[in-house]
Amino acid sequence: MAVVKNELDSYLIKLGLAIRKIRLSKGMTQLDLSSDSGIPLSQIGAIENGKLNTTIKTLIKITSTLEVKLKDIIEF
């Protein structure tokens, strides 16, 4: 079963919102997350805004930095 573009976009937006919510709950800025994870600030912004279909490797860096499990950002 193929995922249509609108559905993929919806997943990316939900993923970005989940990351932003956790980041903010930990009192972190995007710059903090970028610095602590080694991921460029522009990439963090693009992920949080649902504009970038990122890799699992990057998501693992983000969740490790936020001290949460991968499932915590993809259960939506």
Q: State pLDDT tens for residues 18-60.
A: 999 999 999 999 999 999 999 999 999 999 999 999 999 999 9
Spatial neighbors of 61 by CB under 8 A, at least 6 apart, are 37, 38, 39
Going by pLDDT thresholds of 50, 70 and 90, the confidence category of residue 3 is: low
Token output for 27: 């009192």
Residue 69 and residue 63 in contact, taking contact as beta carbons nearer than 8 Å: yes
* pLDDT for residue 54: 96
Q: Position of tokens 């602590």?
A: 36
* pLDDT for residue 75: 85
CA dihedral sign of residues 15, 24, 31, 68: negative
φ/ψ of residue 32, rounded to 5: -60, -50
CATH architecture of the domain formed by 5-69: Orthogonal Bundle (1.10)
Domain regions of the chain by residue span: 5-69
